[in-house]
Chains A and B, each alone.
Chain A
């Protein structure tokens, strides 16, 4: 199979057709103009749904059958249950038992618990995956074993693809920690509570058919209804939607590594010295070890300076919840909830608000929250001397991570990548990233244990940090120091010319290609 490739705006070779659909190459940030109208599901009538509001059917197999499941359809699931999710496999295995073939699985993200999908691909039940792939699934794809091409999208990009009609969902299967027989569903209550259900919202609005699966059926009304029953066709009760211990962690732990703590401390001091940490500011930090520690350091500086934030964006954790409780932020706008403290807070505190990729991240909307955030602290596997970054593949080219909200967050006022300059012997600062997930023009600062590099485009930040005691250094200089430590630059990943997956930009254009490994 030969694939036609073009070179896009950032010099990456990308395919023009992916899974039989024509693609636009990345044209530059903000250069692509969409047209047309949004996609819409078919019109339904109350006439066809029980007036009692009871949409329950006996099991998933029955529900899938009623949805008219057929070969080649697209089935979507969601990752708010993270590595504890049982529902995706229940749905795909039910489809297998019905003898269906060649499905496209469209998860909002996959986790190690989804490894058995490999068997379903080997059996022909699943044709390919459009969604994040890591661990064994990432390796399966990277070794060219998947029949179709992988498509990796950001959380915002997934909403954009659904809304713009790039991906047509035949059946959405939504795991719900609480639901009523009408299909109203909520993530913040129940034995498998996970917090927000934002990742499933687009699917509930745009899919042809929607099945809600719950292990905690409550009488109508299920409050709050993060998912509206008016969009739901069927409700299925199961014993368990997942393993609560793996859905949220009991506590999220701050890193103990002195090197990572130093990075976190540099980030906090940078925000202060750059004048970003001021009364009424906003920031976002994920649940990685460095990001959590950064919040603790920043909190200390905020208290000393007597300033508070207007809002912080999660991935919420205990550390963000503490800021809210101590009055150091007015709101948490939460995309997903990482620990028990976060789940409890979102269920009880009206200032802890569940958001969706539509409000936070969708690039084809009338604005989104990501651009309103003053500073965001992210990680990456590689950053190059032009500040381009990779979060998707290892330096050896194997798929490692999904994009998550990472690309969407790059639009914040100040985008900071906080990372070690090398891991074991593998340089993180490199000449050219193996895979491009984010163009350097949107990445403002790289904070490592060996120095802080400010993107030369941000002359304002360079000016504000003049005379600082922080170790501000050119990125090239830090990269060269790392290579002296690691014994020279690493060998290039050895890859074939066959695309196995593409990295989408937030506007649906193709930013880069993941190539099959050379074995």
Chain B
């Protein structure tokens, strides 16, 4: 896919990919002419069916930006309306149009309710912010979260377009109940990202390469400022990504830097590079960082989320990694392909035996409580309070993941 040149002259701008293999996307060239009105030339593979709609969408964006005289060439390969709007806006801005007015497309998905701070975060699917074709159907694979990524998966020359695409996607793409996360760039670029995405009320912001608590505070403060202006009170949580030796050392301080931090996660590629070691499949070289992170997160009362498994074709390897990850205390991990979601959900789910045992313990606890007994016992064995706590947590997870019915009392399944 050819990358478009940015601003070939001061009054001309292009955006979007070109070529025969482009799907669900488009290339737009805008030339500000200063006179002669808007001339839109459209070639589209869906022209017979949506030509009028594409024309109107382009005109809407340009009019909102105050562009009244321009020659616009659109080469469309079936882009959806939110993509068309973003590409046209990016091309116009690159041509030198002033960023003013409200060129955003009409919101077509309802604003989601607040995302609970401790919601299930077993899987979070990375979506490159410059690739709208991957966003459209992300939700159907039922990840717990989607990450609209503005950072490493976006080429530096495409940061501006990706920001507009992500903003529009938050308004127009239905992620079908997945938590809507955005990974911003490192500061200071990340602060510009916040300006674009925070008014669209994402549920969570990922902060890459976090090393110190003050970095978290800057972001949290900026989000509060923008939210106060946008004014809808939707909670926006933070998930710092620790990707260096220093970050790992400061894990607890980062986790407790702001009350909106709900989880810590780790970037193992950058971390191993920082250590100067090779990342292996078994992961002995990252064990310290990961256990340290789990401990810090637990100490701060937030979730510990693991990194990604990089080999998309190796489902068995993924399952094994995810099982080990759960055993270490992580509650979820990242996905770089939709087919990784189901194996991860299965690996992070408690087993049938674990659930059965936990239900028995919870039932015994309830029975002891009802009888006013201070000591919980199951058969001839005494059960310590932390074991009860772990069992209750496991039952809760099983309920939330649908492994046992929401309303089933523990006793029904306990066999007691």
Contacts and interface: CB of A to CB of B under 8 A. Distances in A.
Interface of A: 258-259, 261-262, 395-396, 423-426, 449-450, 481, 484-488, 490-491, 493-494
A395 B140 contact: no
B177 to A, nearest CB: 12
A38 B337 CA distance: 57
A491 B52 contact: yes
A424 B24 contact: yes
Given A424-B24, A425-B24, A491-B49, A258 B80 contact: no
B80 A426 contact: no
A449 B137 CA distance: 8
Nearest to B173: A485
A258 B49 CA distance: 27
Nearest to B57: A487
Contacts of A262: 140-141, 338
B48 A487 contact: no
B13 interface: no
Given A449-B140, A450-B140, A491-B52, A424 B78 contact: yes
B49 A426 contact: yes
B340 to A, nearest CB: 10
B11 to A, nearest CB: 30
Contacts of A424: 23-24, 45-46, 77-78
Contacts, number: 61
B329 to A, nearest CB: 29
Contacts of B136: 485
A488 B53 contact: yes
Contacts of B208: none
B140 A486 contact: no
Contacts of B48: 395-396, 491, 493-494
A485 B80 contact: yes
A33 to B, nearest CB: 41
B4 to A, nearest CB: 20
27 contacts: A258-B339, A259-B140, A259-B338, A262-B140, A395-B49, A424-B23, A424-B45, A424-B46, A424-B78, A425-B24, A425-B46, A425-B78, A425-B79, A449-B137, A484-B174, A485-B80, A485-B174, A486-B50, A486-B80, A487-B53, A487-B57, A487-B80, A490-B49, A490-B50, A491-B49, A491-B52, A494-B48
B313 to A, nearest CB: 10
Nearest to A258: B338
A425 B141 contact: no
Q: Which of A259, A396, A485 has the most CB of B within 10 A?
A: A485
B52 A258 contact: no
Given A424-B45, A425-B78, A425-B79, A491 B50 contact: yes
A490 B136 CA distance: 18
B248 to A, nearest CB: 33
Given A424-B24, A486-B80, A490-B50, 20 more contacts: A262-B338, A395-B48, A423-B78, A424-B23, A425-B46, A425-B78, A425-B79, A481-B174, A485-B80, A487-B50, A487-B53, A487-B57, A487-B80, A487-B81, A490-B46, A490-B49, A491-B48, A493-B48, A493-B49, A494-B48
Contacts of A491: 48-52
Nearest to B136: A485
B137 A259 contact: yes
A479 B365 CA distance: 50
B108 interface: yes
A282 to B, nearest CB: 29
Contacts of B339: 258, 261
Give the most central of B48, B80, B81: most A CB within 10 Å. B48
Contacts of B79: 425
B394 to A, nearest CB: 22
Contacts of A425: 24, 46, 49-50, 78-80
Nearest to B52: A491
Nearest to B338: A258
B365 to A, nearest CB: 31
B43 to A, nearest CB: 14
A384 to B, nearest CB: 15
Nearest to B49: A490
Contacts of B50: 425, 486-487, 490-491
A484 B50 CA distance: 14
In order of increasing CB-CB distance, the 5 nearest A-B pairs are A424-B78, A490-B49, A258-B338, A396-B48, A487-B81
A290 to B, nearest CB: 14
A258 B337 contact: yes
B315 to A, nearest CB: 12
Nearest to B176: A450
Interface string B343-359: 00000000000000000
A203 B191 CA distance: 73
A257 B23 CA distance: 13
Residue among B50, B78, B337 having the largest count of chain A Cβ atoms under 10 Å: B50
Nearest to A489: B49
Nearest to B53: A487
Contacts of B57: 487
B140 to A, nearest CB: 5
Contacts of A487: 50, 53, 57, 80-81
B176 to A, nearest CB: 9
A490 B24 CA distance: 16
Nearest to A491: B49
A488 B57 CA distance: 13
A80 to B, nearest CB: 30
A450 B140 CA distance: 6
A46 to B, nearest CB: 58
**Interface hub of A258, A395, A426, A481 (most chain B Cβ within 10 A):** A258
Nearest to B79: A425
> Which of A258, A395, A425 has the most chain B CB atoms closer than 10 A to its own CB?
A425
A488 B50 CA distance: 9
Interface string B70-83: 00000001111100
